[in-house]
Amino acid sequence: MRLGVYLVDRRPLAVAAFRRLWVASVVTAVGGSFSLVAVPAQLFTLTGSSGTVGVAAAVSLGALAGSALWSGALADAMDRRRLLIAGNTGLGLSYLGLWLNSLLRLDAVAVLLVLVAVQGLSFGVTLTTTGAAVPRVVPRELLVAANSLSSLTRYSGAVAGPLLAGALIPVVGLGTLYLFDALALGLVLWAVARLPTMPPPAVAAGRVLRRLGDGFRYLAGHRLLVAILAVDLAAMVFAMPHALLPELAERTYGGAVGGGAELGALYAAYPAGVLLAGLLSGTFGRARRHGALMASAAMAWGGCVILLGLAPNLFVAVVALGVGGAVNFVLSTFRNAISQAYTDDALRGRIQGSLTVVLMGGPQLANMLHGLGGAAAGVRTAIVAGGTLTVLTVALLVRTMPGLWRHDGGGTT
């Protein structure tokens, strides 16, 4: 069999609208992610307090959550292309504001927090609306491949962006990084402006906007969507031990106090696994058993976390996280494909908004639970317990909701 069958499935790039969005996302995944490093660095430099950095993260998450629900309703009531333009314009303006704030040396934490809130609001709009827009420009049979390409870009940026930002800060300064982010958003706006119009379905806009909770109600009434959300939450909340990696690196594997090569290896292993899976995404891009693949990937992730907790040395721990990143790529790809294909287009924006709130909040809850669990029972015990809970929870969900396991790419359950 030809090697190309196993490599990245590029078929969605033949769709002009998706191709423009994807090319723009490649630029912003790297150049548009500099502020993720620059904002915390600037806040810590100004205040010397990690608590202030935490407050900024909470402000951003709160703004994003509220924005996701509201923009989800808007995406079902107006042209999604116009909403994408508005969201990306807001992001660009927030980056310009951060650049001007740095250029003028205002050094006001309150100003920074306001700009962080604007950034969170705008990101909530773009994240939610993009999830609702992709199924309008890509045929259903290409949704898995389209989500694979998007995930590959996002995770590549998560690795390359911070590395490049860290190298550039001493050279060009924090302010210039914000300007780079703003310039990258210009390319996105160009790509979005060239999308076809995506008018709302034949639903009264006023009624849609009065029913912001429709997304959650729709989720509650559809067992398949409840199942994929429950599986994803189990994988994120129980088995996402990022908060414990610094202690694991230092006290279990002898890393330097405050971070070192051991901590870097643990943090790099997960995204490296994601990238490898993305580069080989052709192996599952044409698969039909979407539900079974998602559930299996979640249980495999739990198994990787168990191995991480039991790892006798750093090498085994890095391998466990790398394989875990690969199976999580599969999990997220099929989660997105199932939710996008299964949802009625008239509610797709609100469903995406509801999913955004849950999926962005899950990792934050995981950090809290793992931090408390590690302090109470020890790092290894907390990690193994989280992986075990994930495997058992997903197995129970598959048994009680067999439609998830039977669901295929054609919508059959």
Residues 133-165: tens digit of each pLDDT: 888 888 888 888 888 887 777 777 766 776 677
**What gap in Å lies between CA 147 and CA 230, rounded to an integer?**
20
The identity of residue 259, as a single letter, is G
Is 146 in the same domain as 243?
no
Kindly tell me if the per-residue pLDDT of 244 is higher than 70.
yes
Is 222 in the same domain as 193?
no
Task: Let me know: does 305 contact 386? Beta carbons within 8 Å.
Answer: yes
Query: Among the three residues 211, 242, 263, which one is the final residue of a domain in this structure?
Result: 211
Task: State the pLDDT at residue 409.
Answer: 61
Taking every pair of Cα atoms in the chain, the longest distance, rounded to a whole number of angstroms, is 62
Percent of all residues in the chain with a pLDDT value above 90, rounded to a whole number = 21
Task: Let me know: does 110 contact 196? Beta carbons within 8 Å.
Answer: no
Which helix (H) or strand (E) is 212 found in, with range? none
Query: Among the three residues 171, 194, 211, which one is the final residue of a domain in this structure?
Result: 211
45: left (phi over 0), alpha (psi -120 to 50) or beta: alpha
Radius of gyration of the chain (CA): 21
Is 161 in the same domain as 223?
no
Is 155 in the same domain as 251?
no
- Domain count for the chain, please give it: 2
Nearest 10 degrees: Cα torsion 117, 121, 123, 127: 150
Beta strand residue intervals within 184-288, DSSP E: none
Distance set, CA 299 to CA 269, 370, 402 (Å): 19, 19, 15
Is 268 in the same domain as 387?
yes
**What gap in Å lies between CA 121 and CA 378, rounded to an integer?**
37
Q: What is the CATH number of the domain that holds 302?
A: 1.20.1250.20
Residue whose C-alpha is closest to residue 97's, from 121, 81, 75:
121
Give me the DSSP letters along 297-361: HHHHHHHHHHHHHH-SSHHHHHHHHHHHHHHHHHHHHHHHHHHHHHS-GGGHHHHHHHHHHHHHH
What is the extent of the structural domain holding 326? 213-413
Task: Let me know: does 39 contact 163? Beta carbons within 8 Å.
Answer: no
Is 246 in the same domain as 157?
no
Kindly tell me if the per-residue pLDDT of 251 is higher than 80.
yes
Residue whose C-alpha is closest to residue 36's, from 191, 240, 180:
180
Is 117 in the same domain as 234?
no
pLDDT tens sequence across 254-308 = 887 655 778 878 887 888 898 888 887 777 666 778 899 999 999 999 999 999 9
Kindly report the pTM of this predicted structure. 0.73
**What gap in Å lies between CA 273 and CA 268, rounded to an integer?**
9
pLDDT tens sequence across 354-375 = 777 777 777 777 877 888 888 8
Give me the DSSP letters along 267-284: HHHHHHHHHHHHHTGGGT
Query: Among the three residues 155, 187, 211, which one is the final residue of a domain in this structure?
Result: 211
Kindly tell me if the per-residue pLDDT of 27 is higher than 70.
no
Task: Let me know: does 184 contact 31? Beta carbons within 8 Å.
Answer: yes
Is 167 in the same domain as 227?
no
**What gap in Å lies between CA 399 and CA 401, rounded to an integer?**
6
Is 269 in the same domain as 165?
no
Kindly tell me if the per-residue pLDDT of 346 is higher than 90.
no
- Is residue 382 very low, low, confident or very high in pLDDT (cuts 50, 70, 90)? very high
Is 90 in the same domain as 138?
yes
Kindly tell me if the per-residue pLDDT of 202 is higher than 60.
no
Is 205 in the same domain as 231?
no
Is 185 in the same domain as 318?
no
Percent of all residues in the chain with a pLDDT value above 70, rounded to a whole number = 87
Dihedrals φ, ψ of 258, to 5°? 85, 0
**What gap in Å lies between CA 380 and CA 358, rounded to an integer?**
27
